[in-house]
Amino acid sequence: MRFTVFVEPGASEVVPALGLDFRELVGYHQKLGRLKQLQKMVELEFEAAYYMKKYQPDPVLMNTRYGRLISNVLARRETVYEVVGGKSDSEVYAKFLRAMENPQPLSRIESSTGLKEVAVDLFRLPVPKFFERDGGRYITAGVFIAKDPLTGAVNASIHRAMILDEESLAVRLVPRHLYQIHRNAEKAGRNLPAAILIGAPPLVYLCAASSPPFGVYEVEVANALAGGRLTGTDSLLDGVVLPLPVEVVLLGEFIAGRRAKEGPFVDILGTYDIVREEPVFRVESILTRQDPLFYSILPSGLEHILLMGFPREAAIWSVASRTATGVRKVRLTPGGGGWLHAVISMEKTTEGDPKNVILAAFAAHPSLKTVVVVDADVDPDDPLDVEWALATRMQPDEDIVIIKGARGSSLDPSADQVTLQTSKLGIDATRPLSKDKSLFEKARIPFTEH
């Protein structure tokens, strides 16, 4: 396979403000030598997903019969930290949480500069079919933006959307904010106008994947992280400022009372979700940038896991840090789908603190099923290091916490799928303070090759 480099005409050689423009972040990956561009024509059914998985975490840009398709743009933790503008875990988590508490309205521009209208035909967009039992072709990187007709609250969130026909999508709405807004519109007997952004500013993706309180517009949280540098327009969706630039915009409305079968589809754990009757979104217009980059997120891939997990890591870090001093890193691990399993490192000063941190983590992220707390000299990103801590620093009769009958996650196929009840496991894998520290020291070889 040969690769060429993506070059945007007139692109600056200066490192860009990575969170403000999706295309700038792609260019940044290119400058670092990460971006892969396949020269062959790639099929949207299964082949595109194959290359997304093969090259992760590297971004991969593919040519399809309906345009350019890109994935893995936010598949690296270091990229997320660069987009947020921080170096350490604590710095990035703190910035993210401050922005949630201090959302900032966007500067408005007069029109949707750089966007042009194209024919409404969803089948002529480069939308993949990922896995063999998928119900159809799926948009997976769509940021849905809608305004609550009851309260006026504006919400931005990411939802999967299955193509039904040239102008219709079945959209999976979990019982969160857009679900509530949609219900309010239906109760009033009204269709719900909305926009779907594909290839939005990277900071918008990070914030749309989070769960601030209802009424906090996630795009304004992104603008707070951006230092007020995001711009937007209210000329596309009545009464709502949409962030710009964006690669593709689908404008339309959820049709009151209309449902369609959605699924099967692969969730974050790599297993198939069930078929449900979900709301139908009718697309009324499609706008694109010149030669757009159509963004797609591989279901259960590293990018999916990181986007879902990162905001919850910040929430766990916030609560755990108030519970005990010395909390260093929080990782929702890839093996747990970035959702069900956490590893937390800390500088323990008092026995019992790790168990308090375990309880704090379960409170901050109720979907968690397992939490392991390790010392700061153990790398939460290294499964072998974590297993070593379990082997050398944990006693089962003293260091295991089991909670029965708790509410878990619908993503866990082993949980009760009606009540969502599950049991939860916490493990204190930190060294006992009463024992000689040298007994737990990792041996090292004091030599560096020159």
Catalytic residues: 267
**Beta strand 276-288 with 248-262: parallel, antiparallel or unpaired?**
antiparallel
Asked whether 151 and 243 are in contact (CB, 8 A), the reply is: no
**Beta strand 421-429 with 370-375: parallel, antiparallel or unpaired?**
parallel
Q: Closest Cα to residue 355, out of 408, 307, 400? A: 400
Alpha carbon 348 to its chain's center: 31
**Cα(6)–Cα(151) distance, integer angstroms:** 44
Asked whether 245 and 201 are in contact (CB, 8 A), the reply is: yes
Which residue, chain included where needed, has tokens 């906090």?
A: 216
Q: Cβ atoms within 10 A of the Cβ of 430, count?
A: 25
Burial of 221 (0-12, 13-18, 19+ CB in 10 A): buried
Residue 181's identity, in one-letter code, is I
Question: What six digits make up the tokens of 287?
Answer: 């706008």
Type and span of the H or E element at 155: strand 154-165
Question: What six digits make up the tokens of 53?
Answer: 């998985």
**Cα(354)–Cα(352) distance, integer angstroms:** 6
> What is the total residue count of the chain?
450
338 Ramachandran zone, left/alpha/beta (phi>0; psi -120 to 50): left
Tell me the C-alpha to C-alpha distance, in Å, between residue 177 and each of 44, 208, 238.
Answer: 31, 11, 19
Alpha-helix runs per DSSP H in 198-290: 202-208, 218-225
Q: Closest Cα to residue 273, out of 287, 261, 256? A: 261
